[in-house]
Amino acid sequence: MPASPIRKLVPYAEKAKKAGRIVYHLNIGQPDIETPEVMLNAIKTATIKTIEYSHSAGNDSYRRKLVGYYKACNIGIDPEKDIIITTGGSEALLIAMMSCFDPGDEVIIPEPFYANYNGFANAADVIVKPVRSYIETGFSLPAIAEFEKRINPKTRGIIICNPGNPTGCLYTRAELELLKALVLKYDLFLLADEVYREFCYDGKEFVSVMHLAGIESNVVLLDSISKRYSACGARIGALISKNSDVMNAALRFAQARLSPPTYGQIGAEAAIDTPAEYFRKVKEEYIERRDYVVETLNKMEGVLCPKPSGAFYCIARLPIDDADKFCQWLLESFNHNNQTVMLAPATGFYSTPGAGINEVRIAYVLKKESLKKALECLEVGLKVYNKN
Amino acid sequence: MPASPIRKLVPYAEKAKKAGRIVYHLNIGQPDIETPEVMLNAIKTATIKTIEYSHSAGNDSYRRKLVGYYKACNIGIDPEKDIIITTGGSEALLIAMMSCFDPGDEVIIPEPFYANYNGFANAADVIVKPVRSYIETGFSLPAIAEFEKRINPKTRGIIICNPGNPTGCLYTRAELELLKALVLKYDLFLLADEVYREFCYDGKEFVSVMHLAGIESNVVLLDSISKRYSACGARIGALISKNSDVMNAALRFAQARLSPPTYGQIGAEAAIDTPAEYFRKVKEEYIERRDYVVETLNKMEGVLCPKPSGAFYCIARLPIDDADKFCQWLLESFNHNNQTVMLAPATGFYSTPGAGINEVRIAYVLKKESLKKALECLEVGLKVYNKN
């Protein structure tokens, strides 16, 4: 498994910090938003004498309460059959790939996509076939004909992330209906990473793969509380499907790793009671940040940044030769008032060699004041870099 | 991945409980011992506002403090290079297998062995070649000649569990020196699951694979705090090696799953300060239970149970035709004063078909009073079963 372009930058960021420079991190999906108090308090006040294993599919009380959460999302699930609590969305993805596919099987994923999908595909011995989406169309779903070109007897599934990391793109119902027809035509699995469900903007409708009638046995939903409650370190996710063969296979893998974390589950169960006001505020905050970031970027000479409708990322095309080089240069050789910015080169999100060479992903996970300084660094950096 | 014999019994145990019967669980490695207060308190009093991802290799402060713990075990490690904090010992095993071996590689494991090794081997696409140990010799290390018979060009490693689950067998220094010679002769990896390190009895010396001089690059230590602090649900383990290639590969897998659980790490770091008195009491308790269980079993007609020197398991040979059938019968059809006992059929711990057919694993993880009642059920059960 090769190191990703972001990880290659980490030592440069550490070096810059050691040298006393302030580094603004727009490179990671770690929000600065506070975790809901109801979640933190549940962990503080839990009366545990022995930290025991939970059920391999997760605590029964948590699964039952989650049914209510999903019901409010218009997703009907059975707490005993359709859901396995996982150690983060990461494990949900890994287990799903191992449960749905055999070694050597192929899956089609619109690129750019979350780079860790490669790690899980590698571990499950599954081959990723990318189908490209483009910045010019805001990374909307690639044409179905492009998917079909990649389908062969080894193709067993499609993986989507909606709303998208790293694109922020929110798929429309029409796009999902096209995918559904494709899934039916070739009897494929449709795995959907919907961990940014709570982060949809501008009144646009979120459509889950679980809302698509007639492909219930093909659909696997991958979820996580990391972003929803800003609780990435709790390591709680979920794998959901109506396909009993998939769930039986997934349970075997879940049993081999024994159980998801106890405290994370206690917190996650309590977090379901997070008041609506929390999400309203968080959404308001992200919309303000997004609008500021996208507007500021598009004002910079030669920069293109489509306005995303979901998640807390955007991808920007920069007037540069090579994003890997530029991002390293920002950390290694540049400073603006003793500050610099760390961005994620988009190359790590594309499988096609050379794709995304002049694109970066920006996570708007910092307060507006820091975002302002970070973007100032980027603007000045672009000018200095291009003069060299 | 087939369901294990223990898991097949779970529905029968649930049915028995629903019918109002008391079921004594001697089938699982979930101790009833309380988690150290210092660990529970650290979690209760943690001041967290946002539950963030930790470093993929675990919190720096935790890794640094662990160095002291291992130093006290006479194991010298570098906190930055030699250790990755994992999500339980399970993940340490899975990552170790994926990091050390290629698909199709073979590993030799003395059987009976912890059944979940099969699950991880399956996920890593590694082929397990069992080498048998026998109840008659207390499950001591199989003859080296038996290992050598199984070595071929695809053989890449050996996995041991010391002290052993499910056997309770503690390997001697002499046995480990034999393994070392073998590892050197064929340049194999030696993966050692030492999660029961704290549970060695009768003044016998615990020897770690990390104590074996001259095979530092071949050794991978797999650890967990689950048993040490009776904190199975915290999901904190560790993968330790001086082999930088292994550690680099392991870190990539660790990065793909992002981070180990936050609260588990906070608790685990605090738990290093657990007073010696805690372990003294726990050990005393386990020795008393072990002595009682082994003595009582050996008094039963036709039962053989070697006295183990470590962990909290023993394997007993029973005067029965088929342990799977007998264990199911105990749950399904037997009751003694409205009570019964759940045991783990040993067949699940052997890879060789038919091996262990009349053996069961008994985990002495209940208070003596419950153990007494559980063994009464077993004794009466054996008589009734053999009359039918």
Q: Is B252 helix (H, G, I), strand (E, B) or coil?
A: helix
pLDDT at B2: 55
pLDDT at A3: 62
Taking only the tens place, the pLDDT of each residue in B348-387 is 999 999 999 999 999 999 999 999 999 999 999 999 999 8
Nearest CA-CA partner of A232 in A70, A23, A34: A34
Nearest CA-CA partner of A273 in A47, A41, A49: A41
Pair A246, A95: CB distance under 8 Å: no
pLDDT at B241: 98
- Answer yes or no: is pLDDT of A62 > 80: yes
- Residues in chain B with CB shorter than 8 Å from the CB of A98 are 123
pLDDT at B229: 97
Cβ distance B116 to A258 less than 8 Å, yes or no, reads yes
| Alpha helices (runs of H) in chain A, residue ranges in sequence order | 5-18, 37-44, 60-72, 88-100, 116-124, 144-149, 173-186, 244-256, 262-271, 276-299, 323-332, 368-387
Give the largest Cα separation in chain A, rounded.
Answer: 63
B317-344 mean pLDDT: 97
- List the Cα angle A314/A319/A320 in 5-degree steps: 100
Strand runs labelled E in chain B? 22-25, 83-86, 106-111, 127-132, 155-161, 189-193, 219-224, 237-241, 313-317, 339-342, 344-345, 359-363
Of the candidates B116, B232, B258, the beta carbon closest to that of A88 is on B258
Cβ distance A256 to B90 less than 8 Å, yes or no, reads yes
Pair A121, A105: CB distance under 8 Å: no
Whole-angstrom distance, CA of residue A78 vs CA of residue B15? 20
- ipTM score of complex: 0.93
Radius of gyration for chain B, computed over Cα atoms and rounded to the nearest angstrom: 21
- Answer yes or no: is pLDDT of B1 > 90: no
Taking only the tens place, the pLDDT of each residue in B143-191 is 999 999 999 999 999 999 999 999 999 999 999 999 999 999 999 999 9
Pair B303, B318: CB distance under 8 Å: yes
pLDDT band at A1 (very low <50, low <70, confident <90, very high): low
Nearest CA-CA partner of B26 in B348, B378, B288: B378
Taking only the tens place, the pLDDT of each residue in A226-277 is 999 999 999 999 999 999 999 999 999 999 999 999 999 999 999 999 999 9
Taking only the tens place, the pLDDT of each residue in B222-232 is 999 999 999 99
pTM: 0.94
**Closest chain B residue by Cα to residue A103:** B125
Poorest-confidence range of A267-276, B80-89, B113-122? B113-122
- Residues 107-136 in B contacting A (C-alpha not used; CB under 8 Å): 116, 118-120, 123, 125
Whole-angstrom distance, CA of residue B29 vs CA of residue B314? 11
- Residues in chain A with CB shorter than 8 Å from the CB of B51 are 35, 39-40, 229-234, 267
Q: Which two tokens mark A135?
A: 């910045």
Q: How many Cβ atoms sit within 10 Å of the Cβ of residue B304?
A: 16
pLDDT at A153: 97
Q: Work out the mean pLDDT of chain A and round it to a whole number.
A: 96
Q: How many Cβ atoms sit within 10 Å of the Cβ of residue A297?
A: 21
Q: Do the bridges between strand B22-25 and strand B339-342 make them parallel or antiparallel, or are there none, so unpaired?
A: parallel
- Residues in chain B with CB shorter than 8 Å from the CB of A1 are 249, 252-253, 256
- A307-321: burial string, b at 16+ Cβ within 10 Å, e else: bbbbbbbbbbbbebe
- Answer yes or no: is pLDDT of B3 > 70: no
pLDDT at A53: 94
Decide which of B2 and A290 is more confident.
A290
Nearest CA-CA partner of B366 in B337, B386, B339: B339
Q: Å from B340 to nearest chain A CA?
A: 22
Q: Give percent of chain A with pLDDT exceeding 90.
A: 95
Q: Is A107 helix (H, G, I), strand (E, B) or coil?
A: strand
Q: Give percent of chain A with pLDDT exceeding 70.
A: 99
Q: Give percent of chain B with pLDDT exceeding 90.
A: 95
Return the residue in B6, B38, B45, B50 with the most chain A beta carbons within 10 A, the one to mutate for interface testing: B50
Pair B326, B320: CB distance under 8 Å: yes
Whole-angstrom distance, CA of residue B38 vs CA of residue A204? 49
Amino acid in position B47:
T
pLDDT band at A155 (very low <50, low <70, confident <90, very high): very high
pLDDT at A2: 55
- Answer yes or no: is pLDDT of B6 > 90: no
Strand order in the sheet with A127-132: A83-86, A237-241, A219-224, A189-193, A155-161, A106-111, A127-132
- Residues in chain B with CB shorter than 8 Å from the CB of A39 are 51
Task: For chain A, count helices (H), then strands (E).
Answer: 12, 12
- Residues in chain A with CB shorter than 8 Å from the CB of B14 are none
- C-alpha A79: how far from its chain's center? 25
Whole-angstrom distance, CA of residue B266 vs CA of residue B53? 13
Cβ distance A232 to B116 less than 8 Å, yes or no, reads no
pLDDT at B200: 97
B111 strand-pairing partners: B132
| Alpha helices (runs of H) in A56-210, residue ranges in sequence order | 60-72, 88-100, 116-124, 144-149, 173-186
**Closest chain A residue by Cα to residue B42:** A44
Nearest CA-CA partner of B118 in B344, B351, B316, B382: B351
Pair A308, A169: CB distance under 8 Å: yes
pLDDT at A31: 84
Whole-angstrom distance, CA of residue B257 vs CA of residue B159? 24
pLDDT at B180: 98
pLDDT band at A146 (very low <50, low <70, confident <90, very high): very high
**Closest chain B residue by Cα to residue A44:** B44
Taking only the tens place, the pLDDT of each residue in A179-212 is 999 999 999 999 999 999 999 999 999 999 999 9
A85 strand-pairing partners: A238
- Residues 29-68 in B contacting A (C-alpha not used; CB under 8 Å): 30-35, 39-40, 43-46, 48-54
Whole-angstrom distance, CA of residue A286 vs CA of residue A72? 22
Decide which of A324 and B2 is more confident.
A324
A101-105 mean pLDDT: 95
Cβ distance A263 to B258 less than 8 Å, yes or no, reads no
- Answer yes or no: is pLDDT of B16 > 60: yes
A296-314 mean pLDDT: 97
Q: Which helix (DSSP H) or strand (DSSP E) does residue B265 occupy? A: helix B262-271
Domains and CATH numbers, chain B: 10-34+277-387 (3.90.1150.10), 37-271 (3.40.640.10)
- Answer yes or no: is pLDDT of A7 > 80: yes
Q: Work out the mean pLDDT of chain B and round it to a whole number.
A: 96
Amino acid in position B120:
F
Peptide bond into B166 cis (omega under 30): yes
- Answer yes or no: is pLDDT of B31 > 90: no
- Answer yes or no: is pLDDT of A65 > 80: yes
